[in-house]
Structure 1
C-alpha cells in the first residue's frame, strides 16, 4: 500500500486503499453559445476548474496508541490555513497544492480505521520540480535564457535581479510580449540621479564607524558594538545601567557630501527586534545628526513594555522642545510588529516629512505588514526641517536593569541625497546592489522588498513562461545578475 506527503510530513500509519485512481487531468468546463438557426452551438471558451481528490485511506493504529492524541496529531497535520504541497508516493515528481475539505472528521477516521480524505486544489495544475535559469550574455549582446517548458500549460515565473548598473528602465521580453518598469529613453534624454545614494552599508564590518560616547538625545551612549555573523551590528556590551535610563552602544558615520550641500534626503534602515521573553525591553535605533551631533530625525523599533511583548515603530523629528512625533505604531494589531524583521524609511522633501515601515514576510525580504505616516512642517517652525545632515548614528539600547531584547540588530544602512529634477530629466529607478523581484504569481514587482508597481508601464504585462520554447531577454543587458525561477505545470 502507498501513502502521501502533505504539509512536508507523512504519517506511516496512514495508507491509501488499493484500487484508487487519480484523475488524469483537472476538470474542464466547456462554455457554449447556442444561436437560433445555427446547428449545434459555438464553443466560447474552456475553463479549468478546481481539482478535487477524494482519497480512500486506512489507518493502522498502534496497539498502545492513545486515540485522542492520534486524533490531535492527524488534525494538526491535515488542517492548514493555506494550500500546501501534496505529493503521492506513486507520483513523486508531481506536486499538488491542496487543502483538506472541511467535512473531514478525525474522530470518525480514527475510530473506524477507514475513511475518505478530500483534498481540494484551488490551483488545479500539477507542478513539476523547481527550475532555475540564470540569464547570460549571448553572442548578440542580449542578457538571455533559452529553454523549453515541457509542461502542458504556461507557468508563472519569479525573476530576481541583483543590480549591477543604474538604469531608468527595466524590460523583460519573451517573443513579442514585454514587461517594463521605468521610463524608455532616447539618445537625447538626460538621465540623472534623483535619489543619489551616499551611504550603502550592509553592516558586515564596523570599519568606517566610530563609537559615540556620552548623551545622545535621551539615551546614554555606552558599552560596545560588534558584528554578528558578518551581517549585522548588535551590542556586545550595553554598558553600566542606570535606573529608568536607556543605555547602550552607538556608532556613527559621516555622510559624504561629494561637494554639494544636502537638502532633501532619505534614510532606510533594516532592523531586527525579537524578544524571547515578555519581560525583555530594548530598542534598535538610527538617527540623522547635524554638525553639532544634535538629532535631526530618528527611527527606531522598540519594546518599552516590561510585562508584555509589544513592538512599536517609532519615528520623530528633532529632540527635546523641538521634537515632533511622526509615528508610534504597533501595526494593524497590537502584535503586528512583534518578532520584527524588516525596514524603516524616513524622507525629508522640503517641509514634507514621510515615514514608511514594513515587516518582511517570513522567510523573505519582501514587505508585508506596513504603514505610512506624513507630516508637513507648515512655515518651517521646526529648525530640523532646514538643517543639513552630517552624520548617521545607529545604536542598540536596554532599559535600566531589565533584560535586553534577545535579538536587537541593525542589518543595513542606506542614505540618499534627493535631487530636484528638471522638466526634461529622466531619473534612474534603481542603483547598484538593489534587488528587484518580478513575481508574476502575485502580479507584484518590488525593489529591495518595497512595492514598485507604480513604475510599471500600463501597456506591458507580467511575463509568463509559455508552453514549449521560450526566449527570455532582460534589458538593458548590463543591468546585473538575472535569475528566473519557475515550475512546469501539467493538466
Structure 2
C-alpha cells in the first residue's frame, strides 16, 4: 500500500501517514427560521455558513520510541501556527483548504508508532481550486467559472493613455472608478509629478543652509545607486549628519509628498533619525516627514510635522509602533485646508512594490496657519552625539506631486500606470497606491457565478489580465 500524507503550510512529513478522513461533503449550514402564528411551516430568515471541521486519522512512524519523542516536537512545530495555512489532502490534491490545527493530539503508542486523530478547523469554510488567469485584449472577456460558490476576480490593467474612468461591467452588476467625460467636458490631470527621485545619484541635489531640528549639518551624503546614506556623520553633540536639498521647478500649493525610509538599529547604543524637510519659498522649514529610533529601547517613531514662524504641530506622530527597524514610507498631503498624513510598510511581492498602509490621520487647517507653498525638499540623515552609528539608515526615494484643482473632470490614470481592481480584498490600487476614494458609490465588488461570465471593459483599448480562483462548498 502506498503511504499517503497531507500537505500543510507547503510541507509534508515522511513520518505521517493518513489512514482515514472524516470529511465534510460541504461547508456546514444552518437555517434561521421565523415562525408566524396562523401560518403553517416557517419563513426563512437567513442562512448561516459555519466553520468547517476536518478530522484525519493518522499514523506516526519512527525508528524507535526515543525518535518518536523527537517527532512529536517536530509535529507540534509544523502544525501549530499563528495564522491559517494551506491544507491539501492526499485524496483531493486539486483542492486547497485554509486551516488551523485545533485541540490536542493524544496518540495511542505501540513501541515506535503512534495512532491518533488530527483536528483541523477552517474559519473560511470553502475549498479552493487553482488560480486561473485570462488575458484582456479586447473590450470584453468571458470567464468560464466552475466553482459552486461565487469567486472574486482580480483585474490588472496597463494604461496606455490618460483616462477619467474605468468600468468593469457584468450583465447584472458593475464596478466603476472615476467619472466618465463626454466631448464637451473639460478634463485635466489629477496630479502633476514634480519630483520622483529614486535617489540613484546625488547629481541635482545641492547644499542647503537650513538647520535641522535639534541638530547640525555635518558629514557627507552619498548614493550607492539605490539609496541616500551618510558616508560619514561628522561631529556634533546632538543629532548631526549630512543634508542635501533639491528645488522644485516651481512652488506648489496643494501637494502629495512621500518618502521611503530604511532605518535599522541592531544594538542599544545605536541611534538613527532620517527626515525629509519641506522648504518654503524663502528656504524656511514648513514641514517634515520623519522616521527615527531615538532611545535605547530601539523603539521606532514616525510622523509628519507642519509649521510656520509662530506655530507648529504633528499631524501624525506614531511612537514605538515597532522595534529596531522600519522599512516603510511616510506620506503628507495638503488639499486646500485639509492635511492627510499616513505611514505604512512596503515590500516587493512577485517583483512588484506592494504597500501596506498602517495609519492615516486628517487635520483641518481652519485658521489657514499652514498654507505656505512648497518650493524645495531636503534630506537629513543623522545619528546622536558620540553614540554608535546605526546599522542602516537610508532614504530610498522621494516623490512630490502637485494636486490640481481645475474645473472639470480629472484624469485618474496616465500612460504607463498600472491599475489593480481586487474584488477579493475590495481594494483599488494605482501603481501600488491604495485609491478606494475613486470608487463609484453604486458599484459593487461583484463575484463570478457558475457558468460563463461575460465581463465588458470600458473604455475600450485597455489591456491586462484577470485572475480568479474557484471556490467550492
Give me the TM-score of the superposition, normalised by structure 1.
0.81
Question: 408, 419, 428: which one pairs with 1:445?
Answer: 428
Identify the match of residue 223 of structure 2 among 223, 226, 246: 226
Question: Could you tell me which residue of structure 2 aligns to residue 76 of structure 1?
Answer: 77
Question: How far apart, CA to CA, are the structure 2 residues paired with 1:433 and 1:271?
Answer: 25
CA distance in 1, matches of 2:37, 2:361: 58
Shift of residue 241, structure 1, vs aligned partner: 3.6
- Tell me the secondary structure at the aligned position of residue 330 of structure 1: strand
Match 1:329 to one of 308, 317, 339: 317
Are positions 1:120 and 2:130 aligned together? no
Matched, 1:266 2:256: yes
Query: 1:9 is matched with which residue?
Result: 11
CA distance in 1, matches of 2:107, 2:167: 55
> Which residue of 2 is the match for residue 392 of structure 1?
377
Equivalent pair of 2:291/2:302 in contact (CA under 8 Å) = yes
- Judge conservation of contact 1:365–1:448 (CA < 8 Å) in 2: no
1:42-441 pair list within 5 angstroms: 48-63=49-64, 65=66, 70-101=71-102, 103-105=103-105, 113-136=114-137, 138=138, 142=139, 144-201=140-197, 203=198, 205-206=200-201, 209-212=204-207, 216-217=211-212, 218-227=215-224, 232-235=226-229, 237-248=231-242, 250-257=243-250, 262-305=252-295, 307-318=296-307, 322=310, 324-327=312-315, 329-330=317-318, 334-336=320-322, 339-360=325-346, 365-374=354-363, 376=365, 378=367, 380=369, 385-422=370-407, 425-432=408-415, 434-441=417-424
Partner SS for 1:93: strand
Equivalent position SS for 1:74 = helix
SS in 1 for 2:7: strand
1:71, 1:106 within 8 Å by CA — same for their partners in 2? no
Determine helix, strand or coil for the equivalent of 1:287.
strand
Q: How many residues align?
A: 465
Per-residue deviation, 1:235: 1.4
Q: CA–CA distance in 1 between the matches of 2:281 and 2:40?
A: 86
Q: CA deviation at 1:316?
A: 2.0
Check conservation: 1:132, 1:483, Cα contact below 8 A.
Answer: yes
Q: 5+ unaligned residues in a row in structure 1: which ranges?
A: none
Q: CA deviation at 1:156?
A: 1.4
**Take 1:274 and 1:10, find their aligned partners in 2: how far apart are those partners?**
36
Q: What is the CA RMSD across the aligned residues, in angstroms?
A: 3.6
> Taking structure 2 as the reference length, what is the TM-score of the superposition?
0.84
CA pair 163-215 structure 1, distance change in 2 beyond 3 A: same
Structure 1 counterpart of 2:457? 474
Gap change, CA 1:330 and 1:189, over 3 Å in 2: same
**Which whole-Å CA distance do the structure 1 matches of 2:383 and 2:185 have between them?**
52
Measured in 2, the distance between the counterparts of 1:400 and 1:275 equals: 15
Unaligned stretches of 5+ in structure 2? none
Contact 2:210/2:285 (8 A) holds in 1:
no
Say if 2:304 and 2:317, in contact at 8 Å, map to a contact too. no
Q: Which structure 2 residues correspond to residues 16-31 of structure 1 after superposition, within 5 A?
A: 16-17=18-19, 19-20=20-21, 22-29=23-30
The residue matched to 1:113 in structure 2 has which SS?
A: strand
Determine if the alignment matches structure 1 residue 463 to structure 2 residue 446. Answer: yes
Name the CA shift for 1:243/1:219 in 2 (closer, same or farther; >3 Å): closer
1:105-156 deviation per Cα after TM superposition (whole angstroms, max 9, x unaligned): 46889998222111112222221222233322x2xxx2x4333223333211
